[in-house]
Structure 1
Amino acid sequence: MYTPPAFRDDDRASLLATMRATRLATLVTATADGPLATPLPLLLDESEGEHGVIYGHVARANPHWRAPPLGEGLAIFMGADAYVTPSWYATKAETGKVVPTWNYVAVHAHGPVEFFHDADRLLDAVTRLTLLHERPRAQPWAVGDAPPEFVAAQLRGIVGVRMPITRLEGKRKLSQNRNEADRAGVAAGLAASERPSDRAVAALIPA
């Protein structure tokens, strides 16, 4: 990921927070037939390995798991993002030398990808992933709420994914390269937007 120094995020806590907050990531692997990419909800196990381990699953009908990965895989976690109009910059009124851009937060996790079929491992991964997303609900659904034979049949229709993280890259492109007045204009403009994602970016713009 191209990351100018002003936008680089090397803070582990920040990187992991972005990964935890991203509800849908993208798993990418290089194969002999070209790159393959699958959008997936992924679980980050921070207690396992040096940098954590990512778990998920794909449909057995998805050809992604059948193609042996060449080298490491890549999991892309996109955080909040927003279009930035030049009209928000104080510099526009001063010189007119401004252009549109996009602000965003992203984390790229690299590591070897393993696809697995073991039923017990699959059940553990599915149970933990379900708990992650059901926990905030008033009446959480649990895998154990479904009949065991039904769950077993569903597990036969998926293939697990495990990726130990070897390297993390973080980027927070949040107008850090603009002056204070321009940043204030961007923050105010995004905060006034009807888009929740715009308002989320507004809160991240440095003062």
Structure 2
Amino acid sequence: MYTPPAFKEETLSVLHDIIEAASLSTLVTATADGLLASPLPLLLDRNEGPNGTLYGHVARANPQGTTPVIGAAMATFMGPDAYVTPSWYASKREHGKVVPTWNYVAVHAYGAAEFFTDEDRLLDIVTRLTNRHEAGRAEPWQVSDAPAAFVKAQLRGIIGLRLPIERLDGKRKMSQNRSAEDRTGVAAGLAASARREDRLVAEEIPV
């Protein structure tokens, strides 16, 4: 990922926070047949390996789970993003030499993808994923709420993924390269937006 120094995010705990805040990632693998990509909810184990390890699963019918991977796999995670109009810049009123841009947060995680069909490991993954996304509900659903034979049959329809993270690229593009006056204008403009993502980006801009 192209990342100018002003936008580079390298703090491991912050990168992990971005990964965990993303509801959905995209898993990309290179194969002899070309690139394969799948939108996936992934679970991060922060303590497994020096950079953490990602877990998830794909449908058994998804060729990405059975096609040999060339090189490292990549999982991408997006944080809040927003269009930035140059109309918010103080510098527009000063000289007019401004153009639109986009503010966003992104993390790319790279590592060797391991696909597996072991039932116990699959059950552990779907249980942990479910518990994470059901947390906070008044009556959280649990995998054990479903009949055991039904769960067993469902597990036969998926392939597990384990991706130990070998490298992380992090980017937080939040108008850091603009003047304080321009950043203040962008933050104010986004904060007034009806779009929730815009307001989240406004909170990230250093003013």
TM over 0.5: yes
Unaligned ranges ≥5, structure 1: none
d(CA) in 2 for partners of 1:77 and 1:137?
Answer: 24
Identify the residue that residue 89 of structure 2 maps to in structure 1. 89
Give the equivalent residue in structure 1 for 2:110: 110
Distance apart, 1:5 and its partner CA: 0.3
Aligned mates of 1:57, 1:173 — CA distance in 2: 30
SS at match of 1:203: helix
**Offset at residue 7 of structure 1 (A):** 0.3
Q: Deviations over 1:6-32 (max 9, x none)?
A: 000011111010001001000000101
Aligned to 1:72: 72
- AA aligned to 1:104 is Y
Match of 1:49 in 2: 49
Report the AA paired with residue 36 of structure 2.
Answer: L
- The root-mean-square deviation of aligned C-alpha atoms, in Å, is 0.5
Deviation at 1:49, TM superposition (A): 1.1
Aligned length: 207
Aligned to 2:39: 39
Deviations 1:156-178 (A, max 9, x none): 00000110000111000000000
Q: Between the two proteins, what is the percent identity of the paired residues? A: 66
For 1:67 and 1:35, the matched residues in 2 are separated by: 11
- Which whole-Å CA distance do the structure 2 matches of 1:138 and 1:90 have between them? 47
Match of 2:145 in 1: 145
Rounded to whole Å, the distance in 2 between the matches of 1:15 and 1:42 is 14
Distance 2:139 2:182 in 1: 45
The unaligned stretches of length 5 or more in structure 2 are: none
Runs (4 or more) in structure 1 with deviation over 6 Å come to none
Whole-Å separation in 1 of the counterparts to 2:111 and 2:25: 15
Could you give the per-residue CA deviations for residues 17-64 of structure 1, whole angstroms, max 9, x where no partner exists? 000100100000010111111000000011211111100000111111
1:183 alignment counterpart: 183
Measure the CA separation in 2 of the matches of 1:80 and 1:136: 22
Distance 1:170 1:76 in 2: 10
2:116 and 2:89 map into 1 onto residues whose CA distance is 51
Is 1:168 equivalent to 2:136 in the alignment? no
Question: Aligned with 2:204: secondary structure?
Answer: coil
Local SS of the residue matching 1:103 = strand
Question: What amino acid is aligned across from residue 26 of structure 2 in structure 1?
Answer: T
Shift of 1:138: 1.2
